[in-house]
Amino acid sequence: YLTNEKRGANAAEPLPPIAVEQPTVRMTLGVNKSPLAGREGKFLTSRMIRDRLFKELDRNVALQVSETESADRYQVSGRGQLHLTVLIETMRREGFELEVGPPSVIIKENEAGQKEEPWESVEVRVPEDYVGGVVDLFNQRKGELQDMGLEEGEGMSVVKYLVPTRGMLGLRSALLTATRGTAIIDSVFDSYRGMIPGEIQARDKGSLLAFSDGEVTSFGLEGAQDRGKMMASPGDSVYKGMIVGIHQRPGDLEVNVCKTKALTNMRSANKGITTGLVAPIEMSLDSCVEYLAADEILEVTPSKMRMSKNPAMAGKKKQGKK
């Protein structure tokens, strides 16, 4: 509790103490182990990361940090995804390099032994033309409609839902895409309720993965951009398994973005024809965290953010197939 204090017998009645909200979402933060690690950051070791995380507990009272089975990875729990991404962004600007795992919801058991999950109250203000798309997205995430109406004078519709926190992971980006950036989204923790059985639909498209280590070329991007939306630009350094784009279909696909054009002394009939490059998607820290699937990780450095497949998860999948 906050505001607990000692007082004398004749002191005035104190204000009731404020209970600290319990965390609802957790992520893992650890040492960056990618092939491009150590090029930019000043603070790289597990001891530096550990000291910084536990120092944060002195002022960030709602944060919880615990050690894991791995000596170079720590579990950080907070009040929602935004709470944790603010911490990651602060550490990134201080010069840390981190490996960040996908967010997951904290499940609890009630007195009867039944599993419960956190739910959030969400309010979205959006132009009337996009209300249908907003409602569809909430229904896909197992949301329960609470209220819907028009806001007087501004021509905006107000939609209120109760949504499980599992369904809120990645929903903000989807809402902004569906409403062309016009949606105003507010959410707050509501309560723990009975867990919804089954999985909640999240990302419906796979990732485009780099085929090999190297430097991205314009020629390689021209061949790969037909497969989906690219995140990489010419000159970027990539490594095998790194996410370089969003596949236009479900499932992952490896693309050779480092491919160079063969140099010959033969003149091609279509030599002068060029398709041109489409501008890459700019991914913020929030967008990257929301995009992560269960088998993906995010590499955060002071100037770059790279996503890739988790090598540990890939090894388990191969063993399962055998």
- pLDDT (tens, 9 = 90+) of the chain, 322 residues, equals 555 566 666 666 777 777 777 889 999 999 999 999 888 889 989 999 999 999 999 988 889 999 989 888 999 999 888 899 999 999 999 999 999 999 999 998 888 888 999 999 999 999 888 899 999 999 988 889 999 988 877 778 999 999 998 888 888 888 888 888 888 999 888 889 888 887 887 777 889 999 999 999 988 888 888 899 999 999 999 999 999 999 988 889 999 999 887 776 665 554 544 567 888 888 889 889 988 888 899 999 999 999 999 887 765 555 454 4
- Sign of the Cα torsion 140, 143, 149, 153 reads negative
pLDDT of residue 322: 46
Taking residue 183's Cβ as centre, other Cβ atoms within 10 Å add up to 20
pLDDT at 30: 92
The CB density around residue 145, as the number of other CB atoms within 10 Å, is: 12
Across the beta sheet with 253-255, what order do the strands follow? 228-230, 243-247, 207-210, 253-255
Q: Which pairs count as long-range contacts for 50-56, CB under 8 Å and 24+ apart, including other chains?
A: 50/74, 52/91, 52/94, 52/96, 53/29, 56/87
Cβ neighbours around 235 below 10 Å, total? 9
pTM of the complete model? 0.82
CA pair distance 268, 266, nearest whole angstrom: 6
| Residue 188, Cβ density class (10 Å: 0-12 exposed, 13-18 middle, ≥19 buried) | exposed
CA neighbours closer than 13 Å in the CB half-sphere of residue 274: 9
End-to-end, the C-alpha distance of the chain in Å comes to 52
**For residue 5, what are the contacts with CB-CB under 8 A and spacing of at least 6?**
14
Task: Check residue 294 and give its pLDDT.
Answer: 86
Q: SS3 of 243, please?
A: strand
| Helix or strand (DSSP H, E) at 109 | strand 108-109
**3-state class (DSSP) for residue 277:** coil
For residue 317, the model assigns a pLDDT of: 54
DSSP-assigned states of every residue in 118-183: EEEEEEEEEEGGGHHHHHHHHHHTT-EEEEEEEETTTTEEEEEEEEEHHHHTTHHHHHHHHTTT--
